Amino acid sequence: MQISELVKQAANFYENGNYKSALKCAEKILKKEPQNADALVIKGNVYYQKHKIDDSLQIYLSALATDSEHKIALINTANTYFELKDYKQSYKYSKRILKMDSNDKTALTIFGNSALELEKYDEGKEAFLRILEHDFSDAWAYNSLSRI
C-alpha cells in the first residue's frame, strides 16, 4: 500500500474513533517516512485524545518542523498551547494561520480567545466580529464578545 493510501486509512481510523488503528497506521507510515507531516499530525491527534497533551504538542511541532505551513498542525499546535494556558504561543500560532487564511473560523476563535487572555481586547473583539460576519448565529463568538 502506498503512503498516500496509508495516510487516508489512518485519517479514516482516527475520524471514526479507532485511535489504536490510527496510531498503528501512522507509526507504519513514520517508519517509512519519519518526516511525514500528515502522519505526525494523526499521531499527535491520537495522543491528544488520550490526554497526553505535552506529547501531542511535541509531535505537532515535529510536523511543523517538516512542513511549516501545515494548516492542521498549526491549528492543533495553537489549540494545544491554549489548552496548556500558554496564551502567548497560542496567539502566535493562530496568527500564523490567519496570515494564510484570514477567515479560518477555528483560527479566529483560538486567536480571539488567546488575545482576550492576553488582555488584547481590541484584537479579540475584531476576531469574533470577523467570525460573525460569516456566521451571524455563532454562539461562541457572541459569548466571547460578552466577556469584553
Query: Average per-residue pLDDT in the chain?
Result: 95
* pLDDT of 119: 97
Structure-model confidence comparison of residues 144 and 86, the more confident one: 86
pTM: 0.92
pLDDT (mean) for 70-75: 98
- Quick one: pLDDT at residue 147? 80
pLDDT band at 136 (very low <50, low <70, confident <90, very high): confident
Sign of CA dihedral 126, 74, 45, 88: negative
Nearest to 77 by CA among 88, 64, 34, 85: 64
Q: In the structure, what pLDDT confidence band is assigned to residue 45 with cuts at 50, 70 and 90? A: very high
pLDDT for res 143: 85
